[in-house]
Amino acid sequence: MGQYPVIFLSLKNVEGSSFEHAKYQMMELIAKEAARYSVLRKNEALDGNAKKAYEALTTFSNGCYQMTEEALLGSLQTLSELLALYYHKKTIILIDEYDVPLDQAFQHGYYKEMVSLIRMMFGKALKTNDALAFAVLTGCLCVSKESIFTGLNNFKILSITDTRFDEQFGFTDTEVKKLLSDYQLEGWFPEVKDWYDGYRFGKTDVYCPWDVINFVDRAKDDPEAEPEAYWINTSGNDLVKRFIDKANKTTKNEIERLTNGEVIEKELRLDLTYDEIDQSIKNLWSVLFTTGYLTQAGRSFNRSKSAVTRSIF
């Protein structure tokens, strides 16, 4: 911590009903991240060209950011290079919810334009960038086949089924017990476990951190507080709703079985991408699984289809 310059972007708000609106959201996000390093503007170690490159990322006039198309496409690479020059250390790039712009573009009809924009931005920043130490990207759908990563072949992909770091995506039993104990709420453990211990990453069962923290925050001041589904309205559900609307009788019956506590077995596509989603109602199960609506209860492999896993929910 504190040893590298870091570019952090959360793309959760890069959305809009049109490509131009979404592109401006991306431009504004990067401009604000660049403005966080205003020291670059004053630093004497950077020459005139470097300072001009920085100004191209942060210019604000007439009530909006003024970034050219060329500057936007190279913005992540440019900022990482400027930071490396100033700090004499390579830059780390962290991008959260990278697939939200793709989801929104898919829903509003400008998917190809958004794929092209992100592919060029990420391609410049993540491939043959001498100023890059490493990058981490997170999202719901797997990056392995997504066309925005064409040409990038050095990824390490950690899916929801991977055992590496599986305890890092939620709270474990031990951590929840410690948290409740710190606030004299030990007696609530059975209810908290029943409500929030619903996820499995790799081989580890974990609790939803957002739910647990919100419940503890309320219960510490209200002895009569009851558990609630705090997580339920924190993300968009449009994609899932569209699938449900298309569901046939068999699929609806299977959903009812799940809500009644039964289990079903389905084939999953862990490398599913947005432009493949509407090809089959069977993709519903892959979407529900990767977005956290379903929890894996068992697993079997089909070795002839490396991208397909038979999972029991």
Same domain, 33 and 108: yes
pTM: 0.81
Same domain, 31 and 124: yes
Q: Where among 105, 123, 149 does a domain terminate? A: 149
Same domain, 79 and 200: no
Predicted local distance difference test score (pLDDT) of residue 56 = 93
Express each pLDDT in 236-281 by its tens digit: 566 677 777 777 888 888 888 988 888 888 888 777 777 777 778 8
Is the predicted pLDDT of residue 309 greater than 70, yes or no? no
Same domain, 284 and 214: no
| Residue of higher predicted confidence among 237 and 70 | 70
Note down the domain range covering 47.
Answer: 6-149
Residue 212 inside a domain? The answer is: yes
Express each pLDDT in 94-147 by its tens digit: 999 988 898 889 889 999 999 899 989 998 999 889 999 999 998 877 655 556
Same domain, 172 and 132: no
Which residues 6+ apart lie within 8 Å of 163 measured at CB?
A: 202, 203, 204
Same domain, 84 and 11: yes
Predicted local distance difference test score (pLDDT) of residue 306 = 46
Residue 274 inside a domain? The answer is: yes
Residue 56 inside a domain? The answer is: yes
Same domain, 272 and 298: yes
Q: Where among 87, 116, 149 does a domain terminate? A: 149
Count of domains forming the chain = 3
State how far the Cα of 76 lies from the Cα of 47, in Å rounded to an integer. 19
Same domain, 92 and 201: no
Same domain, 89 and 129: yes
Residue 86 inside a domain? The answer is: yes
Residue 156 inside a domain? The answer is: no
Predicted local distance difference test score (pLDDT) of residue 146 = 56
State residue 312 phi and psi, 5-degree precision: -110, 125
Same domain, 223 and 258: no
Express each pLDDT in 173-183 by its tens digit: 999 999 999 99
Residue 105 inside a domain? The answer is: yes
Predicted local distance difference test score (pLDDT) of residue 129 = 92
Q: Where among 192, 211, 233 does a domain terminate? A: 233
Residue 291 inside a domain? The answer is: yes
Express each pLDDT in 80-98 by its tens digit: 999 999 999 999 999 999 8
Same domain, 54 and 23: yes
Residue 26 inside a domain? The answer is: yes
Q: What is the DSSP string of the chain?
A: --SS-EEEEEGGG---SSHHHHHHHHHHHHHHHHHTTTHHHH-TTS-HHHHHHHHHHH-EETTEE---HHHHHTHHHHHHHHHHHHHSSPEEEEEESTTHHHHHHHHHT-HHHHHHHHHHHHHHHHSS-TTEEEEEE--SS-SSS-GGGTT--------TT--TTGGGGSB-HHHHHHHHHHTT-GGGHHHHHHHH--EEETTEEEB-HHHHHHHHHHHTT-TT-----GGGGSS--HHHHHHHHH--HHHHHHHHHHHTT---EEEEETT--HHHHTT-TTHHHHHHHHTTSS---EEEE-TT-TTEEEEE-
Same domain, 226 and 249: no
